[in-house]
Structure 1
Amino acid sequence: MDNILDMTGKTVLVTGGGQGVGRQVALHCAGQGAAVVVNDYHTDRAEAVAAEITAEGGSALGLGCDVTDFDSVTTMVERAGKDLGPIDVLVNNAGNAGPTKDALSGIPPFWETGPKDWEPWIGTNFYGVLNASRAVLPGMVERSYGRIVSVISDAGRTGEPNLAVYGGAKAGAAGFSRGLAKAVGRYGITVNCVALSTVNTPGVASALANPETVKKALRGYVIRRFGEPADAANAVLFLASDAASWVTGQTYPVNGGYAITP
């Protein structure tokens, strides 16, 4: 039987790919034969993941770039095209509040914050998706092929009391994806989202350091464990591959049953 997840000949760009879910997505795609552009705000992280891939015989390029800066994103996509080929698959994974460490912990109530506090969340999780999508879409339209997969959050689907702005930005990315899917489907381009709950990554390490906090949190999960990067990467790989060529405009929850909705 043919490998329906095979990505040989494709070039994949993974934003925020220097650690956690993004790193695993990059490794998954490379394992299926794709050339991978690993992006991260921290260039050394991006280059380290690219080195992992090339050490296994794959093709990869690590590039530093702030996804909230449209000109930088455009330059990155142009550089990637020259070195590895035009982008066939975009995975919008950059999230949290950009490079801020442990950004999902210690957040004050919304009514104690202001626009300067909101900007990193909206910039990374919404404008980052717009910037990267805008940069790759002209080439995808010209070639009549493309896959865009954005990693969002259950905070954007069901709401979280301490993550209102983050959830709003993620919900915005999902709404944008649905509209974009309708606009570009005629060009052979699919646009989908993967919505995650808690996944064991460096970004939530401090929040999960307390055993009592973990025990309490796990009560909300039908499958009594937090996610692993591979759980998320499995879903992203499916949507990025030709196995999902007739799936578009959808949000796939990968959340251990944290939120079960129609």
Structure 2
Amino acid sequence: MSELLDIKGRTAFVTGAGQGVGRQVALYLAQHGAGAVVVNDFHAERAESVAAEVEAAGAKALPLAFDVSDFEAVGAAFAEAQETFGGVDILVNNAGNAGPTSRLDDLVPFWESDPTEWRRWMATNYDGVLNCTRHAMPLMVKGGYGRIVTVISDAGRVGEPHLAVYSGAKAGAAGFMRAIAKAGGRFGITANCVALGGTRTPAVADLIPDAETEKRALSQYVIRRLGEPEDPAGMILFLCSDAASWITGQTYPVNGGYSFAC
């Protein structure tokens, strides 16, 4: 275990941790000294499976199945985390896409969409970040310490034409994190974002079913491969650690060079 990235027995709360990037974040935190990890997923069986892996890696685990867009359910989850572990020190807002019933094969141009369609993107990617941050921050303020990392997308930085509302929700989450960074700094709380490019998660796998499709998709990437969950999870681990204690209000692209940041 690297001392520089030692999580020092702190309690982490990771949303959307039943698979993909969230699962890898939960495991990295456990492997680097977290005392406990709350594993959230909409599907209970996925949360329970990853919680077992977290415990095998040496940390306590609490699997909790709920929808991050449900403010009351989020509040109940943080209350249970506080009762079980005494508080929450680290929040990783990872839950994304269009929620538990994500589909990316039925997209239409924005001008053909309607507000019902918009809500499924806003609910998880923006409202969910607000809900979890709202319930985490009182615990962090009380403890005088906090790390908040929100997973966004390069869609929120550069825009994606067939994902207009998703792009807006992710950009909104990044702006919200900058405001939280300014509000939380005096309480020892940092807030940052990690922006993903194409990463090999179940949702992306559905869109890239074969090698030829993957080759076309990667033509805009400097590093000609899809990201693996370990790629962004490493950056998230860093931002959760004391190695990043003087970093806040930033967005870090982990995207294989799909876009560059100044």
For the 8 Å contact 1:105–1:204, the answer to whether it is kept is: no
- 1: CA distance, partners of 2:129 / 2:245: 21
- 2: CA distance, partners of 1:186 / 1:56: 33
Helix, strand or coil at the partner of 2:123:
helix
Q: What is the TM-score normalised by the length of structure 2?
A: 0.97
The structure where helix makes up a greater share of residues is 2
- 2: CA distance, partners of 1:76 / 1:206: 31
For the 8 Å contact 1:5–1:237, the answer to whether it is kept is: yes
| 1:84-123 superposed matches below 5 A | 84-101=85-102, 103-123=103-123
The residue number in structure 2 matching 1:199 is 199
The residue number in structure 1 matching 2:140 is 140
For the 8 Å contact 2:178–2:249, the answer to whether it is kept is: yes
The residue number in structure 2 matching 1:38 is 39
List runs of 5+ in structure 2 lacking aligned partners: none
Q: Structure 1 pair 9/56, CA: closer, same or farther in 2 (3 Å)?
A: closer
Aligned-pair distance for 1:81?
1.3
List runs of 5+ in structure 1 lacking aligned partners: none
For the 8 Å contact 2:13–2:88, the answer to whether it is kept is: yes
Aligned-pair distance for 1:59?
1.1
The residue number in structure 1 matching 2:153 is 153
Aligned length: 261
Identity of matched residues, %: 61
Q: Please tell me the residue identity of whatever aligns with 1:190.
A: T
Aligned-pair distance for 1:161?
0.9
For the 8 Å contact 1:227–1:255, the answer to whether it is kept is: yes
Aligned-pair distance for 1:254?
0.2
For the 8 Å contact 1:13–1:36, the answer to whether it is kept is: yes
For the 8 Å contact 1:144–1:187, the answer to whether it is kept is: yes
Aligned-pair distance for 1:2?
6.7
Q: Please tell me the residue identity of whatever aligns with 1:181.
A: A
- Confirm whether residue 17 of structure 1 aligns to residue 22 of structure 2: no
Aligned-pair distance for 1:121?
0.5
- 1: CA distance, partners of 2:240 / 2:56: 23
Q: What is the TM-score normalised by the length of structure 1?
A: 0.97
